[in-house]
Structure 1
């Protein structure tokens, strides 16, 4: 495991032989559900290779909330932390290798290595900022403006994610996304 998770926490590097059994690596094909909406999240996933999406089913309508790529951490944190049913599903977009850490293993790590707490706080803060920006964008920006922001700030999404998921993320239909893409090619 080549973990970026360890680069900021040298103690974990030093103790890797003792803790490696806590981390479970697996490869999953595209469209694999790692967490189903309504289930209680018991794992945090580190993406070694591939892409995942966090999404919600709103009365049959697929709403993608966030995309995750290599060297990112994903979980339904609300479910994981509060031990309540998840409002989201986590699904692979492409063939993906993840390393999972169970809630119990996480608790063991935090207890054994309290120096990881500032790192975890930073990760959670980054996630909170991302959600806040997404929420504000959905309120104040047009779909076209949101698409343009993706082009500038997150081109990897446009390169790697299927169009219907991007449309879902932007809050529009795939047909509307095609029109927006066409207009932006002309400008």
Structure 2
């Protein structure tokens, strides 16, 4: 089974619906192979697709005018990602880049919207997906505002230990908002305590 279909099955369960015409999405799935450093999409470019990671690991980040990266999230196996602005036809506000050799499955968002226009079940599933995304975003915002870098690191390591092992230190540092040297100090203190 494909990662997209697995994700839709999980969404059906979460939303409490059975999605009709799922074969429309199945036919629209496009595999995308990425080597480390290659992009699923780039900031400033249109990209009206939803991706699900089949294998590998990607990072999503904003780039400022000086070229500095501000990492917003990571996507590993079975994790969906997209840029909401790009889904609505605007340029992507961030970049998605492969950290590891990766395969994603992408689906044109217009296909999903067309199904939502025809079926209440798809509308409910989309609403459920947006609500889940909103909860994730609010939690990340709260954490960035209220937790120290040490607390952010500890939470990430506890909640996502396998992922924490796969992410390069420079990227993990960018995710919690410190320099790589600062992260080395945090990791050392964390290991001394645990």
* TM-score in terms of structure 2 length: 0.85
Contact 2:25–2:111, Cα closer than 8 Å, also in 1: no
Q: Does residue 72 of structure 2 align to residue 70 of structure 1?
A: no
Q: Which residue of 2 aligns with 1:4?
A: 6
* Partner SS for 2:69: strand
Q: Do the aligned partners of residues 122 and 42 (structure 1) sit closer, same or farther apart at CA in structure 2, a change above 3 Å counting?
A: same
CA deviation profile, 1:8-42 (whole Å, cap 9, x unmatched): 26445x753x5432111122212211111111221
- Report runs of 4+ in structure 1 exceeding 6 Å deviation: none
Contact 2:18–2:121, Cα closer than 8 Å, also in 1: no
Structure 2's unaligned 5+ residue stretches are: none
Of 137, 146, 157, 2:143 maps to 137
Q: Which residue of 2 aligns with 1:84?
A: 90
Structure 1's unaligned 5+ residue stretches are: none
Q: Distance in 1 between matches of 2:113 and 2:86?
A: 15
Q: Distance in 2 between matches of 1:131 and 1:169?
A: 14
Q: Which residue of 2 aligns with 1:54?
A: 60
Q: Do the aligned partners of residues 125 and 175 (structure 1) sit closer, same or farther apart at CA in structure 2, a change above 3 Å counting?
A: same
Aligned length: 184
